Copies of this chain bind each other. A is one copy, B any other.
């Protein structure tokens, strides 16, 4: 029995290695550079090994996305915790979100730009994604305002942050007024 257990453990370790390596490589050189060959070489196994863990590249991206969602949730909660008052919390949340997107562009892409084969806003949505949304809802629900569904408000706020994050990173928005834009968004959207 213990032999099987060891094997399972080793398999799990290797799976984590694959995901971590994919993430690292993507952050270093972009997702285009994450080819199955390069990834296999980095983990020092042959290509087909990847396919014994994941159905294909998409699933690997999906695994990185799930990891990222957990990280994002943690980052947001950590930033919000020390802030006093709803307004400060929302500001901290927004800042932490954009900061995460900026510092982890590849992971952010895996979550929201690339096709990772993940289900969103459905019953079979992975726990990490639900929890990331919950992390936003916890703080943003406070400032939704009367008669506004907290979930819908959170979706709108999230979408706005997402728009700022992606357009800024893609060079569609000049980096100059990042802070003004963020302040404007927080001030206007929140029901004080």
Contacts and interface: CB of A to CB of B under 8 A. Distances in A.
Given A113-B113, A121-B173, A172-B112, A162 B155 contact: no
A149 B188 CA distance: 14
Contacts of A172: 112, 120-121
Interface string A155-179: 1101111111011001111100100
Interface string A53-80: 0000000000000000000000000000
A20 interface: no
A171 B129 CA distance: 13
A188 B184 CA distance: 11
Nearest to A120: B172
A112 B172 CA distance: 8
Contacts of A163: 158-164, 166
Interface in A136-192: 148-149, 152-153, 155-156, 158-164, 166-167, 170-174, 177, 180-181, 184-185, 188-189, 191
B185 A173 contact: no
B156 A181 contact: yes
Given A149-B180, A181-B156, A188-B189, A167 B173 contact: no
Given A160-B160, A163-B166, 10 more contacts: A112-B167, A112-B170, A119-B171, A121-B173, A121-B174, A155-B173, A156-B181, A160-B185, A162-B163, A162-B167
21 contacts: A112-B166, A112-B167, A113-B113, A119-B171, A120-B173, A121-B171, A121-B173, A148-B184, A152-B181, A153-B184, A155-B173, A155-B177, A156-B160, A156-B184, A158-B167, A160-B185, A162-B167, A163-B166, A188-B188, A188-B191, A189-B189
